[in-house]
Amino acid sequence: MISAGDFRNGVTFEMDGQVVQVVEFQHVKPGKGAAFVRTKFKNVITGAVVERSFNPTAKFPTAFVERKTMQYSYNDGELYYFMDLETYEQVPINASILGDNFKFVKEEMECTVLSYKGKVFGVEPPFFVELEVTETDPGFKGDTATNATKPATVETGAGIKVPLFIEQGDKIKIDTRTGEYMERA
């Protein structure tokens, strides 16, 4: 059990049958009246963010979210298969659970699979990936003073904006959290 007075960023607990994680918290002690904890928390399964105040003595059961590193193997329509690196067991995960940033993941990349009580609710790809540019327009010399970009397609089929000097066949590093070009690999 965790009390509201012990809330810190990242703490995960159960409330009203939902698993939530503290995003922001603030202990408030007004000059008049009882102290309270103003909290902003996120439902880890739906992603909804809610603000609420609690009595510091309110108690909630602690929720343990399991984070396991697994290797992405392949997809078969709506199911994406991940291999447990310890047991070599294949785990199918529905495409609706995968985030938008999963478009930068190619086969055999390691991802973090998030689950609560055995139910998978999310997949985190690596923060940075190196992919090959498969299609892009040729750049123009001398047009670099404006930090101009052009569209490109990487080997996973995802579209991204890259600087003008990047050419087809180049390996680039991408931040999967923002979907932005970082540097040439």
Distance CA 98, CA 89 (A): 19
Q: Is the pLDDT of residue 154 over 80?
A: yes
**pTM score, two decimals?**
0.72
pLDDT, position 121? 80
Distance CA 158, CA 78 (A): 18
On average, the pLDDT of the chain sits at: 87
Domain 2-60 and domain 66-124, same fold? Reply is no
Q: What is the largest CA-CA distance in the chain?
A: 68
Domain boundaries, the chain: 2-60, 66-124, 128-184
pLDDT, position 83? 93
Confidence of residue 142 (pLDDT cuts 50, 70, 90): low
| Positive or negative torsion for Cα 79, 46, 175, 169 | positive
Give 92-115 pLDDT, tens digit per residue.
988 888 878 889 999 999 999 888
pLDDT, position 94? 87
CATH classification of 2-60, choosing from 2.30.30.30, 1.10.10.10, 3.20.190.10, 2.102.10.10?
2.30.30.30
Q: Is the pLDDT of residue 143 over 80?
A: no
Give 3-29 pLDDT, tens digit per residue.
888 888 878 888 888 888 888 899 888
| Share above pLDDT 70 across residues of the chain, in percent, rounded to a whole number | 96
Q: What is the mean pLDDT of residues 169-174?
A: 92
pLDDT, position 138? 81
pLDDT, position 120? 84
pLDDT, position 100? 81
Residue 31 per-residue DSSP state: S
Q: Specify the CATH class of 66-124 in words.
A: mainly beta
Superfamily for the 128-184 domain: Nucleic acid-binding proteins (2.40.50.140)
Number of other CB atoms surrounding residue 81 within 10 Å: 16
